[in-house]
A and B are shown apart, each in its own frame.
Chain A
Amino acid sequence: MTENILPRHQFEVSPENSHYSKKIVRSARIKETLIKSYFAAAGTAALIFIILIFIFLFKEGINAFNNIGLSDFIYGTRTMEDGTVKTVYEWYPTSENARYSLLPLLLGTLLTAIPATLISTVLGVAAGIYLSEIAHPKAKEFLKPVLELFAAIPTVVLGFIMLVIGATFFQDLLHPANRLNAFVASVGLTLVIIPVIASLTEDALRSIPMDLRNAAYGLGATKWQTISKVILPAAFSGVSASIILGFGRAIGETMIVLMASGNAANFTMEIFRSARTMTATIAAEMGEVSQGSDHYYALFFIGVVLFVITFFLNLIAEMIISKMRKKNTF
């Protein structure tokens, strides 16, 4: 409403000065317009960078198709010693007979991200319920920042802890097939995702109107009945959005999986075996690959795949959240 209202009368103090004051008004107007356009330009920064990220990933990634076919990113062939040709799902980008199947990497990503999301859902939603419904308001004021501190731990620190302590702990406890394996990495990942899920769950629960709780109590429901039968179902969409966002984070996390998963490009579903994720592949191989090679472009293509997956996960979560906001404001 208030945009562009220049208090013209202010400058028109006396009629003798009117010629002069008009000039001032005009220059002030120009200045305001310039300032506004500066801010408008800055305002689009996030949008521009999202577009630039997509363009520049795509620009390099598309070159992968110069020499590698789309089917090569799914499967390859290999001549066995007995002369038979076998279809294989392998990531051997530097071999003479290079194979670029992304399936083992995709499988590795899921093998670390899914267990991590499952564990984090239990713990993260519980933490969200605790903060929003159970904790004393005074305690909450102190405990919520604790969760933020959790989120503040750099991932390289978590990777380091899993590498030097976590791996040995689980080796002695579970005797896994590989010391560094998908499970160790996913435990590390949970530490990253729990704060994400917890804080968004807390937001979702808090946005449920107080009336709903009071109505439930009025009907004689206990606290737990209220939480489990009324609040959680009402906040279902918000909680599921938090889980989707958490899953997106798990897929995109690099340092923990690079340090703790062992990075074997196994084509396997066994969680106690070493796995290699898409992110770790880029991180480990990008630094030393020669620019302009097929391998280089293939790594950018993995980046495109990662970007697209996380972009859509974020978009879905955001659509759920904005729908929820509309619903809750009745």
Chain B
Amino acid sequence: MELGKKHKDINGFIFINLVRLMFAFLVGLLLLIIGIIAVNGYPVMSLDFLISSPANNMTEGGIGPAIFGTIAVTFFMVLLAVPLGVSAAIFLSEYAKESIYTKIIRTSINNLAGVPSIVFGLFGLGFFVLFIGKNLDEVLQTGLLFGQPALLWAAATLAVLVLPIVIVSTLEALNSVPKSHRDAAIGLGATKWQTIRDIVFPQAKPGILTGTILAISRGVGETAPILFLGCAFFLPNLPVADLCIGDYCIPMINPTEQFMYLAYHIFILSTQSANPTKTLPLQYGSTLVLILLTILLNITAIIFRYRFRKALGRN
């Protein structure tokens, strides 16, 4: 009877398969996009491409400085975003009682995640460069050093942009630590801080790492926010300077310099290099590197989260 009815439901049959088909189409589209990039980008891929500098008016050479700049920016971004985001999540999960206040904070986290990326760019320019940077220059008497678009401000802006990602994944991780563990620790006489530090935090670490990886992946792929925050078309030198204490010098990232950025590099190559047709292989190559980077980061995060949830028995 049941079976007969199902056979009669022709509409259902059609629609369910239509839904299946649409999903298959999406997966196919994803594979197609990655496939096109991989096939076209593979021929230029080499170690030399990854480390050498663009040459001959950006029509030859590699993407070394762009990769360096991307790593440098993400490094500072993580330094700024992760401690702040994790602390914010600890407050929401461990200290704050549910109230209108926490509701407002949660709403702002969601809203921050929804702010258009180009608006972050305007904010970075208005707040970090023109307000913080300019005032810093005045206080430190450094002339025009901080008050201009630079690596540090790009990283700071991206840090604000990825902050919701870090907070949300940390919150999820903290919430998955069983309440009984906390009660046990408090019962044994540990203070709140000791409980967080020694019991809750170690268990939530993999979840926090997942959030960090997702934040890096997001930051690496963003272009719009850094368009006017010191991202350069082409730079002959890396944003590096020697840090000297006495006569002893070590090269370090200079956060007050302009930088090249992989995602921006793709944009530039495909719209502003001397001859976009000629540089098409380079564009595909750069795109392949960027997409591999983000996909690998995401897969790592997915695996991490999967294991983490499994280990905690998914409550």
On A, residues with C-beta under 8 Å from B are 2-7, 10, 28, 31-32, 35-36, 38-40, 42-47, 49-50, 52-53, 56-57, 59-60, 122-123, 126-127, 129-131, 134-135, 143, 145-150, 152-161, 163-165, 191, 194, 220, 222-225, 228, 245, 248-249, 251-255, 258-259, 279, 282-283, 286-287, 291, 299-300, 303, 306-307, 310-311, 313-315, 318
Contacts and interface: CB of A to CB of B under 8 A. Distances in A.
B112 to A, nearest CB: 5
B183 A123 contact: no
B27 interface: yes
B204 to A, nearest CB: 14
Contacts, number: 272
Nearest to A217: B2
B126 A134 contact: no
A223 B2 CA distance: 11
B266 interface: yes
A318 B264 CA distance: 32
Contacts of B251: none
17 contacts: A2-B183, A43-B88, A123-B25, A127-B26, A130-B19, A152-B294, A153-B291, A154-B290, A156-B221, A156-B263, A156-B267, A157-B291, A160-B266, A191-B29, A224-B15, A286-B122, A314-B110
Contacts of B127: 52-53, 56
B243 interface: no
B84 interface: yes
A186 to B, nearest CB: 15
B27 A146 contact: yes
Contacts of A222: 5-6, 9, 12
Given A224-B16, A252-B115, A283-B224, A5 B186 contact: yes
A2 B104 contact: no
Contacts of B193: 31-32, 35
Given A154-B290, A279-B118, A42 B36 contact: no
A254 B30 contact: no
Given A49-B112, A303-B122, A286 B227 contact: yes
Interface string B132-153: 0000000000000000000000
Q: Is the interface of A mostly helix, strand, loop or mixed?
A: helix
Given A40-B95, A126-B19, A149-B298, A279 B108 contact: no
B298 A32 contact: no
Interface stretch (B49-57, B60-68, B71-79, B160-168): B160-168
Interface of B: 2, 5-6, 9, 11-13, 15-16, 18-20, 22-23, 25-27, 29-30, 33, 36-37, 84-85, 87-88, 90-92, 94-97, 104-105, 107-112, 114-123, 125-127, 130-131, 160, 163-164, 167, 182-183, 186, 189, 191-193, 217, 220-224, 227-228, 263-264, 266-267, 270-271, 280, 283, 287, 290-291, 294-295, 297-299, 302
B271 to A, nearest CB: 7
Nearest to B271: A259
A228 B287 CA distance: 41
A44 B89 CA distance: 10
A245 B115 CA distance: 11
Contact of A57 (B119, B189, B192): B119
Given A43-B95, A49-B112, A223-B16, A157 B22 contact: no
B291 A130 contact: no
Contact of A127 (B23, B118, B217): B23
A253 B116 contact: yes
A283 B119 CA distance: 10
B227 A283 contact: yes
Contacts of B116: 251-254, 279, 306-307, 310
A43 B114 contact: no
B121 to A, nearest CB: 7
Nearest to A129: B19
B107 to A, nearest CB: 6
A303 B118 contact: yes
A318 B90 contact: no
Contacts of B18: 126
Contacts of B19: 126, 129-130, 134
Nearest to A161: B33
Contacts of B27: 143, 146
A283 B78 CA distance: 25
Nearest to A52: B127
B303 to A, nearest CB: 9
B131 A224 contact: no
A109 B313 CA distance: 45
A134 B16 contact: yes
Contacts of B110: 314, 318
B9 A224 contact: yes
A254 B117 contact: yes
A65 to B, nearest CB: 17
Contacts of B291: 153-154, 157
Contacts of A252: 114-119
B220 A154 contact: yes
Contacts of A131: 23
Nearest to B218: A152
